[in-house]
Chain A
Amino acid sequence: MTSSNWHFDTEKSLVESHGLKLDEFEKIVEGLGREPNLTELGIFSAMWNEHCSYKSSKYWLKKLPTSGERVIQGPGENAGIIDIDDGDVAVFKMESHNHPSFLEPYQGAATGVGGILRDVFTMGARPVANMNALRFGDPNHPKTKHLVSGVVGGIGGYGNCIGIPTVGGEVNFHPSYNGNILVNAMTVGIAKKDKIFYSAAAGIGNPVVYVGSKTGRDGIHGATMASAEFDDDSEEKKPTVQVGDPFTEKLLLEACLELMKEDAIIAIQDMGAAGLTSSSIEMASKGNVGIDINLSKVPMRASNMTAYELMLSESQERMLMVIQPKKEELARNIFKKWDLEFEVIGEVTDTKKLILHMDGEEQASIPINILVEDAPEYQRDYIFNDPSPLISFESKDFEDKDILSDLLKMISHPNLCSRKWIWEQYDHMVMADTVVRPGSDAAVVRVHGTNKGIAISTDCSPTYCRHNSYEGGKHAVVETWRNIVASGAEPIAITDCMNFGNPEKPEIMGQFVECIRGMGDACSKLNYPVISGNVSLYNETNGEGIYPTPAIGGVGLIRDLSNTMTIDLKNEGNVLCLIGESNNHLGNSHYLSIILNREDGGTPLINLDDELKNGKFILDCIDKKLLKSVHDVGEGGVLVAIAEMCISGKQGIKIDITKDFLHGFFFGEDQARYLVEVSQNKLEQLEVDASKSAVKIERIGEIGGTSISINSIGEVELSSLIDHHTKWFNEF
């Protein structure tokens, strides 16, 4: 065994610089029966970091419900898969690219999109929609503007070029993200049920093929970097950020899909985090086989690359495949047509080891099981933070507050204002199947060539999670579920992106555990399993962690696209009704934070029975064609939701209600509620049906005019609402 000329005098600092703990290093020595060489140490570092091994989170993630009648593939593959009838499946996953996006926002976000796209098309699916969930720091923080422009530019730059529409997402601002922004990207793809590709290598002697871009020195140790906190010197880590090439990814997508039509691929895995290392080991581990690789054959972009660099590079737009030996020429010709690299770099073996050669010499020999099954797994200590106490507000607390001027302040705030400035930079219509564009509750894309659609929503309320992690976890799941219901779709499954601080701190681990428990309860109750996901820990700078942010991406099915619902008010004379109970819950609401600059009062409690009952009622009403528009009542409460419906539909409304506590009613963030538009002649039926289903319904007002007018209070013109709603980003 050749080993680089290094001495274990420097062992400790070398081990630590690879992000490994000394006891983890001892475990490596014990497993190998010897000390690793530098290449092997790099491989262990890449596999055992938090990002790739899930060592702090695995134990808890197993508690989430992951099965259901429509689940074809749960967590553990490149992406999850659900059945959407007629032999079609939807393949989806969300993934974080937080650390690189903070260091280099354009490339960080762009390669985040590129990575998640590959996860989906690796499985044989054509990607049909991109979504995202973004968190930035205080809007006035000196870095925020640069980060927002860079991230939005990067997401658009990649998605637009490859030609997959970015159909929606969410954006939040909060000072807890000043030093760690979150960039979570989600892709949904469509495939045929009998044409799904997995990553388990098989067939001793079969060729292992490298396709895509050449390997360079970019992104070395990217995954390790993403598994550590930031400090004042983090800027120096910039070279670990990869550079994206969406054009090559487009070629790779088309070439892979073209090859997938042939019976040629046995296994396929994208080279994402930890590049050649994790892809080869994953394929070998899943297939319970070994893999030999001759690194001299790897297409290289730079000269004199070492085994260590080749194994750890995170150059983008690359794939590893095991193919049928007889189809090698056919496969080579397809990749040649698309001007992409195609090289047989190794073969499947029965050694159950990863063995690397370069220039005729052995560079590494590691049993796969030590890398995978024996990877460290921790049950980190945790303590629960007490949920912030619930405060009950009363009418007299807000006597000096004018409802309509507060409404204008709220809808012009960065957290509630129009995101048009962002989504207009994304091509959200390419592929010509976008049915509901960004700006509604959920985006809807048609399944190409059919009359059915997929509804997608991403959501999370970190403030809720910070003040009550259990209810916050429930809320994130429920909010996407409600958004999907409001679009007229049956919610089916979710993907999650768990963004937290340093798991070695018991209070952070406590947030994680409680969010998982809340998510699990909501998923179980709503029959809305988790089918894929990603964990991003160590989102901390100088010891300050982000708010707990379990971002959820939900997917639902609309069997008949004529049932698609949007939030824009449709017709004058129709009536707007509120579905669900209102209890004036102002705790931790946007009203409190925007108008009173307070962050207290407690996260609203979620009654999952009510959620299920009200959601099913909405879907029934849509099926019966009773509703003209539907909007989930979420951030900001009823009046903000009404304003959004008016702005979107360019319709006014005359609100006519009597309440003792108007501020509580208009701005409270009670859950399980929807606003629905109904025509006069269907109103009675709607009310009768609601009462039969024991669902609370209230008339809010009649649609029409050019303003929102509230009896006894006054009115505000639609044009003023629109100006306030769009001004913040337009002045950005």
Chain B
Amino acid sequence: MKTHVIVFPGSNCDRDVAVAIQNIIGSSPEMVWHKDSTINQSDLIIVPGGFSYGDYLRCGAMASTSPIMKSVIENANKGVPVMGICNGFQILIESGLLQGALMRNSSLSFICRDIIIKPTNTKTIFTNKSTISKMPIAHNEGNYFANSNQIKEIEDNDQIAFQYCDENGDINAHSNPNGSINNIAGVFNKSKNVLGMMPHPERAAESIHGCDDGRNIFESLLS
């Protein structure tokens, strides 16, 4: 499986996700510098977490205009799986590949802790092995928002990927860490080959992390 990880100035989870891919998928990804302009022949493109361009303008806004994003969008439109994690999710939204917006956490502070998510649609390439999973979040702007028309659209089209829930899988206000509308933790594009999610599966990918539930996303992609 040929994988690519995009590296922007300020990306800081690029190595972490590369290690997870190596461990789980079994081959190391090609690291692609944001100033490059083409990705040929990919089975999976990952836009990793971090603080691209320092998150200075609006998270993901500057990265979405980097030269490489044109190729990422082309690949996505051709059906190549593209996955954005955390800042990568923000970049995919800014680039128009995913719907909605990610606002500042309702607590107005950065949150780094384990949360639990429930896959809403398990019939996709990313989630066919997903169950209720524990993994960390680490973000300042993960408060997902979409207006009521958009929410209806993504719900009707099964585009919600994950929702924050409690240990029993109940989706409630108590299990919502950042104020996301309908507890949304991740969404797909219409054709389900693009996934954006705030939680970090690469940080819950081996026993030393205290939990390896994040593996199931990568394992889904393998099957």
Contact = CB atoms under 8 A, between A and B. Distances in A.
B10 A429 contact: no
Interface string A436-450: 010000000010000
B81 interface: no
Contacts of A160: 51, 110, 112, 138, 140
A369 to B, nearest CB: 42
Given A431-B16, A446-B208, A250 B10 contact: yes
A333 interface: no
Interface residues of A, number: 31
A720 interface: no
A662 interface: no
Nearest to A437: B210
Contacts of A248: 54
Interface in B9-37: 9-10, 12-13, 15-16, 19-20
A427 B51 contact: no
Contacts of B13: 163, 430
Interface residues of B, number: 30
Given A161-B51, A430-B13, A432-B205, A247 B56 contact: yes
A161 B9 contact: no
Nearest to B109: A425
Nearest to A340: B9
Contacts of A245: 54
Nearest to A254: B9
Contacts of A446: 208
A477 to B, nearest CB: 30
B215 interface: no
Contacts of B109: 153, 425
**Which of A157, A245, A250, A427 counts the most chain B CB atoms within 10 A?**
A427
Interface in B102-124: 109-113
B10 A161 contact: yes
A251 B13 CA distance: 14
Given A250-B9, A429-B200, A435-B208, A161 B55 contact: yes
A427 B110 contact: yes
A109 B2 CA distance: 43
Contact of B209 (A156, A246, A432): A432
A426 interface: yes
A115 B112 CA distance: 24
B196 interface: no
Contact of A250 (B20, B51, B138, B203): B51
**Which of A163, A338, A432 counts the most chain B CB atoms within 10 A?**
A432
Nearest to B13: A430
A168 to B, nearest CB: 13
A433 B16 CA distance: 9
B19 A425 contact: no
Contact of A163 (B20, B51, B205): B51
B193 to A, nearest CB: 26
A230 B16 CA distance: 44
A160 B205 CA distance: 20
Contacts of A426: 110, 112
Interface string A405-446: 000000000000000000111111111111101000000001
B96 to A, nearest CB: 24
Contacts of B140: 160
Interface in B182-221: 200, 202-203, 205, 208-210
A162 interface: yes
Interface in B144-159: none
A162 B15 CA distance: 13
A53 to B, nearest CB: 35
B141 to A, nearest CB: 12
A228 interface: no
Contacts of B88: none
A641 interface: no
A248 B15 CA distance: 19
Contacts of B209: 429, 432, 434
A432 B9 contact: no
B181 to A, nearest CB: 22
Interface in A292-346: 338-339
Contacts of B15: 431
Nearest to A250: B10
Nearest to A251: B9
B136 interface: yes
Contacts of B19: 432
Contact of A561 (B9, B205, B208): B208
B50 interface: yes
A428 B138 CA distance: 9
Interface string A559-574: 0010000000000000
Contacts of B53: 247
Contacts of A251: 9-10
Contacts of A423: 112
A424 B112 contact: yes
Interface string B131-144: 00000101010000
A246 B53 CA distance: 10
Contact of A429 (B20, B54, B55, B138): B138
Interface string B47-61: 001110111100000
A629 to B, nearest CB: 15
A506 to B, nearest CB: 45
Nearest to B55: A161
Contact of A425 (B12, B110, B200, B205): B110
B202 A247 contact: no
Interface in A156-174: 156-157, 160-163
B112 A428 contact: yes
A161 B54 contact: yes
Given A161-B54, A425-B111, A430 B9 contact: no
Contacts of B205: 432
Given A432-B19, A432-B202, A163 B12 contact: yes
A148 B131 CA distance: 39
Interface string A234-278: 000000000001111011000000000000000000000000000
A6 to B, nearest CB: 41
A425 B51 contact: no
Given A161-B54, A247-B56, A432 B16 contact: yes
Contacts of B202: 432
A429 B214 CA distance: 14
Nearest to B113: A424
Contacts of A246: 51, 54
Contacts of B55: 161, 247
30 contacts: A160-B51, A160-B112, A160-B140, A161-B55, A162-B51, A247-B53, A250-B10, A250-B12, A250-B54, A251-B10, A339-B9, A424-B110, A424-B111, A425-B109, A425-B110, A426-B112, A427-B112, A427-B138, A428-B112, A429-B138, A429-B209, A430-B12, A430-B49, A430-B203, A431-B16, A432-B19, A432-B203, A432-B205, A437-B210, A446-B208
| A-B residue pairs, 6 tightest by C-beta | A163-B12, A247-B54, A432-B16, A161-B51, A427-B138, A427-B112
Given A161-B51, A162-B12, A427-B138, 10 more contacts: A156-B110, A160-B112, A247-B9, A248-B54, A250-B9, A427-B112, A429-B209, A430-B49, A434-B209, A435-B208
Interface of B: 9-10, 12-13, 15-16, 19-20, 49-51, 53-56, 109-113, 136, 138, 140, 200, 202-203, 205, 208-210
